[in-house]
Amino acid sequence: MSNAHSNSYIATDPALLAGEPVISGTKTPVRAIVELWRMGLLPEEIPTHLPHLTLAQVFDALRYYADNQNQINRYMEANRVPDELVHPLFQLELVAA
């Protein structure tokens, strides 16, 4: 894997998720962290949901997103599950949360 920038937890590898930025040493894409954050989770809460990550990795992913919003937004849109494929009970849980 090659680091996208120095002193970073973010890496890209063409053989992993077609080169999408991930947390180094994991298969967790930056977009997964950003999506949790955009759903209202505080950065400090994200490791509770993704316990293999450290808070430093979470903050680095959010920093990477701040510097590369267009790129990560394209990955999020490309991987979005259409509303008609989301189970209705799950949609209710998201609205209630």
Q: What is the CATH number of the domain that holds 26?
A: 1.10.10.10
**Quick one: average pLDDT of 19-48?**
95
Question: Rounded to whole angstroms, how far apart are CA atoms 45 and 53?
Answer: 11
Mean pLDDT rounded to a whole number for the chain = 85
Percentage of the chain lying above the pLDDT 90 cut: 67
As a dihedral over the C-alpha atoms of residue 93, residue 43, residue 34, residue 30, rounded to 10 degrees, the angle is: -130
The pLDDT tens digits for 71-88 are 999 999 988 877 676 666
Non-local CB neighbours of 19 within 8 Å, separated by 6+ positions:
12, 13
Which pLDDT tens digit goes with each residue over 3-13?
444 558 999 99
The pLDDT of residue 9 is 95
Domain range for 88 is 2-96
The number of folded domains in the chain is 1
End-to-end alpha carbon distance in the chain = 37
